[in-house]
Chain A
Amino acid sequence: MAATICFAIPEESSAIVLSAARWIPGFYPHVMVDQADGEIVLSTAKAGADAKSLERIWVAALATERLAHAGRVRRAQAFATLAQ
């Protein structure tokens, strides 16, 4: 593997963390995701990829997931207004 990093799964936000991890291989096909011993493991064999790039992917996935629920609510309100 060119790079591997691990992140702990905090109990209080495990649902968001696990969901974020689940979407990563679809959006970043060169990244593999495993879950073991209360940790998320991201790895890639892509040439040129490093731990920093995996960390950025993790931050992006986590931020998107954190904002997704609020986003859905805001979007639904907006469409309801537009439909009036």
Chain B
Amino acid sequence: MTFLPLRVRATRSGDMLCVNDTGSFFATTTRLLDRLGDNQLTPSDLAFLKAEGHAIDPQDRLGDVAYLYNLAERATFAEQLDYLILVPTLRCNLSCSYCQVSRAGLNQPGFDWDDATLTAVLEMLDTLPSPRIKIEFQGGEPTLRPDLIRAVIERCERFEERQFVICTNLQRVDDEILALFERPDLYISTSLDGDALTHQRNRTATDSNTDLFLHNLKAVIDRYGPHKISALPTIDPTAPPDIDTLIDSYAGLGFDSIFLRPINFQGFARKRHSASREQDAAWRAYHERFVRRIIERNWRDRSTVLEETYTSICLRRIFQPGAERHVDLRNPNPLGIDYVVIDHDGTVYPTDEARMLSRSGVIDLSIGDVISGWQSEQRDLLNAHASNFDDPACQRCTYQPYCGRDLVDDISRYGRIDMPRLETEFCRRHLHLFDFLFELIYDNDPATRYSLSRWLRLDSNPERLGARYT
């Protein structure tokens, strides 16, 4: 009998959680592990491990191939560039206290794509071999340059599948912008920090800006429905909003997904919100209370299913490998291959955080530019360290198959990529999040199972979500 690589974690609820390389898992007691350590496994132990895919007979070729297939399913396969974040302008008509890109003033010259950059972007689009394209327009405030957005979208007609997202503060929604919004392949992403007061304090600054935002948000939802538009809050972890107030702000507008996002330690936030460098136990406790409150509300009112977006993403990483394409949590996480960011001056960055770091003057992580390309030595150097397979801490971590690697986050926080993994914020955050998720997975409460099943997009509620062997 061959055992698949297995890691064990003592959970908060008293179980011993065992996870193999492919992400298959079960909960057990210390007794099984004692027998495993003493080479005293019983026939019943062996039968369980075999049935659950944790052990394979040497003659079982199919079992071996299944293991390889499941292992490959866990790994990111990034090949063709088909996801672009475009920054047609860095200018913005607001000045949020935690602006992660240190936006340029509304009338500052030199912060929009020039003709040469636009031409290079359009020509680059022509060369992409993929039949799919996803483009996010970021800023600055991209709606300040609808002409550039339109030029890009028009050039993408040849793609079989297209998806466009305009990330906007919704301060400007005139006929020209509405003409863009009308496209069925275009989605709107905005920020909503909670109730009007909180949103104004963090972002809109004045009553008139706040009123305009709320008016435009409601108008867009009325016109297109809540599924055309997504919103996410940025939370100051030192003063998080009341949980029900925040949920009500979203649910009241028809949003069912809330991405609870603490201030990113970038841009203006590095100076104005220096505590955002590390998230502490208080933030993690707030996040847990938030998710548990959503579970309660989902159970009480089953007409709608609310979710905390990142919790759902992580849950689906456990059960549905390959279902998500969340570029902030994947392994390996190669940079500059399947997605890139093209800045207002044509500079190419591997991620949006890398762009923010450069704007903050911390480190230049650009990998090239849209005119001369980005097949650079810098990119290859970073990509040599883009996986969690070989790290000794990750090799001992039960959550390695579900987790990822974020080089840029490490550079942002510590100025280096070789920090012991367990000492990084990325690792601490995910260790805690997966601990929490497994607590929920093994929770027998029907309300918890109901929410988890919906977040997994299941039609029914399975009797159990995780195997148990006692």
Which A residues fall within an 8 A CB radius of B?
A: 23, 26-29, 52-53, 55-57, 59-68, 70-72, 74-75, 78-79, 81-82
Contact = CB atoms under 8 A, between A and B. Distances in A.
A72 B3 CA distance: 12
Nearest to A13: B37
A74 B30 contact: no
Nearest to B431: A27
B4 A74 contact: yes
B389 interface: yes
Interface string B108-152: 000000000000000000000000000000000000000000000
* Chain A to chain B: the 6 pairs with minimum beta-carbon distance, closest first: A71-B5, A26-B422, A56-B10, A60-B8, A60-B10, A63-B33
Contact of B2 (A59, A65, A74, A82): A74
Interface of B: 2-10, 14, 16, 21, 30, 33-34, 36-37, 67-68, 71-72, 389, 393, 395-398, 420, 422-423, 428, 431
Contact of B37 (A23, A27, A66): A66
Contact of B34 (A59, A68, A75): A59
A60 B33 contact: yes
A23 B428 CA distance: 14
Given A26-B393, A67-B3, A78 B30 contact: no
Nearest to A57: B10
Given A26-B393, A78-B68, A71 B6 contact: yes
Contacts of B72: 82
B68 A59 contact: no
Contacts of A61: 8
Nearest to A65: B396
B163 to A, nearest CB: 31
B396 A64 contact: yes
A73 to B, nearest CB: 9
A27 B68 contact: no
Given A63-B36, A75-B21, A68 B14 contact: no
A63 B9 CA distance: 9
Contact of B9 (A26, A55, A60, A67): A60
Contacts of B397: 27
A26 B5 contact: no
A70 B5 contact: yes
B9 A27 contact: yes
Given A64-B396, A68-B396, A70-B5, 17 more contacts: A23-B393, A26-B393, A26-B423, A27-B397, A27-B431, A56-B14, A60-B8, A60-B10, A60-B16, A60-B33, A64-B398, A66-B37, A71-B5, A71-B6, A74-B21, A78-B68, A79-B71
Contacts of B423: 26
Contacts of A65: 396
Contacts of A56: 10, 14, 16, 30
A19 B37 CA distance: 16
B3 A70 contact: yes
A61 to B, nearest CB: 8
Contacts of A23: 393, 396
A63 B8 contact: yes
A67 to B, nearest CB: 5
Contact of A78 (B7, B37, B67, B393): B67
14 contacts: A23-B396, A26-B420, A52-B14, A53-B10, A56-B10, A57-B10, A59-B8, A59-B16, A60-B9, A63-B36, A67-B8, A70-B5, A71-B6, A82-B72
Given A27-B9, A27-B422, A63 B37 contact: yes
Nearest to B65: A81
B420 A59 contact: no
B67 A62 contact: no
Contacts of B7: 64, 67-68, 71
B283 to A, nearest CB: 15
Contacts of A70: 3, 5
A23 B397 CA distance: 10
Contacts of A55: 30
Nearest to B22: A78
Contacts of B30: 55-56, 59
A19 B336 CA distance: 37
A23 B5 CA distance: 18
Contacts of B3: 67, 70, 74
Contacts of A68: 7, 395-396
Contacts of A59: 8, 10, 16, 30, 33-34
A78 B10 contact: no
A29 B431 CA distance: 11
A78 B393 CA distance: 20
Contacts of A27: 9, 396-397, 422, 431
A82 B469 CA distance: 31
Contacts of B389: 75, 79
A28 B431 CA distance: 10
A23 to B, nearest CB: 6
Nearest to A54: B10
A68 B40 CA distance: 19
